[in-house]
Amino acid sequence: MAYKIVASQCTSCSACEAECPNVAISEKNGTFVINPKKCTECIGHFDIPQCVAVCPVDNTCVIDTSFPRYQPPGGAA
């Protein structure tokens, strides 16, 4: 799985962009999007996903179940 941003709720504040440890977030057509190929759900980096923690609108950065769960290298998780 990866995280995704609910476009209709995004205020475009860009706070998540700077916090993402994977540089997976960028601006597209006025709101921010997460590249699911780069998203690691912050596993191995932080206790909680940084986009979720910093986003000013609750339930805007959410799990996208259409992607398989991220597997850290070495299979620690």
Instruction: Provide the binding-site residues for another protein, judged by CB under 8 A.
Output: 9, 11-15, 17-19, 46-48, 50, 53-54, 56-57
d(CA 13, CA 55): 9
Nearer to another protein, 43 or 54 (CB): 54
Q: What are the φ/ψ torsions at residue 13 (nearest 5 degrees)?
A: -80, -15
Question: Whole-number minimum distance, CB 18 to another protein, in Å?
Answer: 7
Nearer to another protein, 8 or 66 (CB): 8
DSSP 74: G
Nearer to another protein, 27 or 64 (CB): 27
Closest CA to 2 of 28, 33, 30, 32: 33
